[in-house]
Amino acid sequence: MAGHSHWAGIKHKKALVDNKRGKLWSRLSKAIIIAAKLGGGDPDANIRLRKAIDDAKAVSMPKENIERAIKRGTGELEGGDVEEIVYEGYGPGGVAIMCDIMTDNRNRTAPEIRSIFSKYGGNLGSTGCVSYLFDRKGLFVLVSGSCEELVTEIGMESGADNVEINDQGKLEITCSPEAFATVAEGLGQAGLKTEYSEVTRIAQTEVELDVDAARAALKLLEMLDDNDDVQSVSTNLKLSPELMIELG
């Protein structure tokens, strides 16, 4: 879990400083469209939509952009033809990689993803080739200095599966996807802040690579994450603090 969480942290930090705001807003718009399409346009009744809107507001996405994306999802405006796809494959050293995609044109996206895998030392696999290596979980990483006793109490009361300290010394909560909204609400009511929160894929076991292979794998992960249609990337690459130091 620690390796995945560290990759999640890297992505989150990168998003905060991403100056390609239009690209980021496009990605968030797709998440809003899909959420509204599946669960309706009322964020009070649609937990997934509420989370997507919160993510958009966190990066200063304009209110009118958010409202337009909701209307596209509910069919009030054109442009809501967005679908979710999951691509699976292998990276350098045989690490498993899963990409959650939102696209309005899978005929464009599939060749792009295949090309990225191929160019950076991996290969795109068939459906199910690595998904069995991951569990779908809600993941919360608390900001440094959070009270362990309070976080544990809130987490357990809200239906979390586990509360632990990760390799970066930060408190981490995992829960089922169904409990994600309840845990998020409990943390918010207690005034506890997270630096990362998402329903994501967590590797059951992690793979250690030497420095060169790990560097190549990270490059592939970065390039996949940079693709406009990729919403999230999961891997079973183990990113220990020692490896991160070696990678510089």
Q: What's the confidence (pLDDT) of residue 6? A: 54
Report the candidate in 165, 169, 226, 225 with the shortest Cα–Cα distance to residue 200: 225
127 and 45 in a common domain? no
Q: Tell me how far apart the alpha carbons of residues 192 and 181 are, in angstroms, rounded to a whole number.
A: 14
pLDDT confidence bin for 241, thresholds 50/70/90: confident
24 and 124 in a common domain? no
**CATH label of the domain that carries residue 123:** 3.30.70.980
232 and 210 in a common domain? yes
210 part of a folded domain = yes
66-89 pLDDT tens trace:
999 999 999 999 988 999 999 999
CA distances from 60 to 25, 28, 164 (A): 9, 11, 32
156 and 34 in a common domain? no
Q: Which domain holds residue 94?
A: 83-132+205-239
Report the candidate in 141, 142, 132, 136 with the shortest Cα–Cα distance to residue 202: 136
Looking up tokens 């999961």, which residue turns up?
234
218 and 128 in a common domain? yes
Q: What's the confidence (pLDDT) of residue 97? A: 95
Q: Are 87 and 101 in contact (CB under 8 A)?
A: yes
Residue 42 phi, psi dihedral angles, 5° rounding: -95, 110
- The pTM score is 0.84
70 and 8 in a common domain? yes
189 and 147 in a common domain? yes
Residues 6+ positions from 3 with CB-CB distance below 8 Å: 203, 206, 235, 236, 237, 238, 239, 240
127 and 214 in a common domain? yes
244 part of a folded domain = no
Highest mean pLDDT among 6-15, 161-170, 221-230 belongs to: 221-230
18-32 pLDDT tens trace:
546 677 888 899 999
Inform me whether the pLDDT recorded for 158 exceeds 60: yes
Inform me whether the pLDDT recorded for 59 exceeds 90: no
Q: Tell me how far apart the alpha carbons of residues 158 and 7 are, in angstroms, rounded to a whole number.
A: 26
The number of domains in the chain is: 3
Domain boundary among 74, 95, 116: 74
Q: Tell me how far apart the alpha carbons of residues 238 and 234 are, in angstroms, rounded to a whole number.
A: 12
Inform me whether the pLDDT recorded for 167 exceeds 80: no
